[in-house]
Every structure is written in structure tokens, then in C-alpha cells.
Amino acid sequence: MFQLREFDRCRILYQQYIKNFPSSSSAWLSFADLEKQLGDVDRARAIYTLAISMEDLDLPEVVWKGYIDFEVDEGEYENVRKVYETLVERSLGKARVWVSWALCELKMGGAEASRQVFTKAESAVRQGADVQEVMIMCTKRTRPSSEFNIAGHANGSLERIRNFAWYGRKSSGNSGEDAQASQETSQS
């Protein structure tokens, strides 16, 4: 494909492919990759932006990851944060997205930024996010390790999330479930 130097024809083919198969994540990723290899970063970014706006992608998480990796590779950390903010909104605050964002911030060199993401996650819990999912994911990701050692703040947030979660379940009137949940969180 690249040896023929028929880049415009390749673009037309990809456009037709995406027009006919708009839910194909691999088509979107390949098209964006072509533009990146051609050095047209703005076009690649536009393709990723269009791809994440599609409602019925077959593997949307792969497209989101590709877009985030693309922005990280380009060194566009503010764009990475914007993509994560959009992803958090679209995923309705799924804990794995928050944790992925915190880990990404850490890899980009910002332990403080990573802590801020955990603080935002904690706020999301207070605003009605899935408390149990946040607790599970934070527990998995905040165990002390050499790769992810922001445990001081994360464990403090985790404790506040646990207390909030316990209080929320306690007030629901399901005392049997509350005791079990409290026991589960204390074992973590």
C-alpha cells in the first residue's frame, strides 16, 4: 500500500469501508493508523474523534484505548485528559475508567494528577456512581506496588469511599447485606 504512493486512493478506500461498515472498530483504527504513518496527526485525531462518536462500534473500548495511546504517543497530555473526561461521561463513571485514567496520569509522570483523578472518582461516588464497583477497582489498584505507589492518598480515598458506601447501604434497610458488605470491605 505505501510502496504505491497512492495515499489519496487509500484514503478513499478507507472512507468507503467506514461508510459501509461504520461499526467496524478495526476499520477506524486502521484508517487512523494510516494517517498517523503518513504524518497527518490532525487527520488521525479527527478520525479517532469520529470513531468514538459512533454509537454501535463492535469494540468501542479498543477504539478508546487506541485514541488515548495515540495522544500519549504524541505527547498531548491535555488531549489525553479530555478524552478520559469524555470517556468517564460516556461510561457513566465506570470504576475501571477512573483507575485507567489514574494509572495513565501516573505513567505520564504525575503522581499528583493521579491523586486528583482518585479525588474526582470519590466525588463521582458521592454523586451516585456505582459505589461497589469503585470500591472493588480501587482496592485492586491501590495495593502498594512499585508501579503504582500513591497508596497514601489512594488508601485514604478508599477508606472514605468504603465509609460512604457502608453508610449508603446501611441506610437502605438491608441489614443482612450491610453486614456482609461491611465484612467484605474489611477483608480487602
pLDDT for 129 equals: 55
Which amino acid, residue 162? R
pTM of the model: 0.67
Residue 145 has pLDDT above 70, yes or no: no
d(CA 62, CA 101): 15
Residue 188 has pLDDT above 60, yes or no: no
d(CA 64, CA 110): 21
pLDDT for 84 equals: 93
Dihedral angle sign, alpha carbons of residues 170, 155, 92, 181: negative
Dihedral angle sign, alpha carbons of residues 67, 71, 73, 77: negative
Percent of the chain with pLDDT over 90: 41
User: Which stretches within the chain are classed as H helix?
Assistant: 7-20, 25-37, 41-53, 60-74, 77-90, 95-107, 111-126, 131-141, 151-170, 175-187
Residues 6+ apart with CB under 8 A from 134: 95, 98, 121, 124, 125, 161
- The pLDDT tens digits of the residues spanning 37-91 come to 999 999 999 999 999 999 899 999 999 999 999 999 999 999 999 999 999 888 8
pLDDT for 77 equals: 93
C-alpha cell of 145? 506496588
- The pLDDT tens digits of the residues spanning 88-118 come to 888 877 778 888 888 898 888 778 888 888 8
* Residue whose C-alpha cell is 479527527: 46
CATH of domain 1-90: 1.25.40.10
Q: At what angle do helices 95-107 and 77-90 cross, to 10 degrees?
A: 170
pLDDT for 136 equals: 60
pLDDT for 8 equals: 85
Which has the closest alpha carbon to 124: 140, 149, 101, 148?
101
